[in-house]
């Protein structure tokens, strides 16, 4: 039997903006305890979207924690999107799509990023020393079901970062205080600090090009 909290958590991070689909997913997952084996519709697409959102937030975290771009407005979600778009080679990774995905999952991005990061670490350890669970079972969705406390522990640090970090020239944090799915302070789980990855040479090149003015055409107010 999967913990009840993991089922509710999956409902939120799969459908943060769609209560009806969220309720349907929760009911389906509860049926798994009675032997049902129906796979949620669109699960593959959702996890693919999670990976993109996790890339954005983790890159943002890396930029900030590494002290990058301090002279050019500091780290930002926009710079993280630029890096993800430049490094990705698969379909559906253009900047406009990445921004849409960020908007869709922004309020649960800390949990999504934690799930993707934990899944990647578990797969890495599995390849080094295989254990009983097959590799195809170790996907973000399943890891939320298996180890919700671990996901929450990692998500707590991403939540702290997103709520305390103020982007340059803004008076609101990167994650919204009003709409974010906040992990309760009394959840009896200690946060786990995720790894800070080093920027590669090609990442610096992308940021330097962006600094040189390759930022696209912004909206301009017409002057009468």
pLDDT digits (tens, 9 = 90+) for 3-57: 778 899 999 999 999 999 999 999 998 887 777 778 888 999 999 999 999 999 9
Q: How far is CA 15 from CA 5, 90, 166, 169, 179, in A?
A: 16, 24, 27, 31, 14
pLDDT under 70 in the chain at which residues? 1-2, 69-73, 89-92, 168-169, 211-224
The pLDDT value recorded for residue 163 is 93
Q: Distance (Å, rounded) from C-alpha 49 to C-alpha 115?
A: 12
């Amino acid at each position: 039997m999967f913990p009840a909290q993991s089922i509710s958590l999956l409902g939120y991070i799969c459908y943060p903006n769609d209560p009806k689909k969220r309720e349907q997913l929760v009911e389906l997952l509860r049926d798994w305890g009675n032997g049902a084996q129906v796979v949620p519709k669109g699960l593959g697409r959702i996890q693919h979207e999670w990976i993109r959102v996790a890339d954005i937030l983790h890159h943002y975290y890396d930029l900030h924690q590494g002290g990058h771009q301090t002279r050019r407005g500091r780290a930002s979600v926009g710079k993280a999107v630029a890096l993800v778009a430049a490094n990705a080679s698969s379909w559906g990774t253009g900047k406009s799509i990445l921004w849409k995905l960020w908007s869709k999952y922004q309020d649960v991005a800390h949990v999504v990023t934690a799930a993707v990061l934990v899944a990647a670490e578990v797969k890495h350890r599995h390849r080094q020393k295989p254990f009983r669970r097959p590799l195809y079972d170790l996907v973000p969705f399943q890891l939320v079901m298996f180890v919700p406390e671990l996901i929450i522990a990692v998500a707590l640090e991403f939540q702290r970062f997103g709520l305390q970090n103020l982007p340059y020239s803004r008076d609101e944090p990167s994650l919204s205080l009003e709409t974010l799915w906040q992990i309760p302070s009394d959840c009896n789980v200690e946060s786990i600090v995720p790894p800070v990855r080093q920027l590669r040479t090609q990442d610096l090149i992308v940021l330097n090009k962006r600094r040189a003015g390759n930022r696209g055409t912004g909206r301009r107010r017409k002057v009468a």
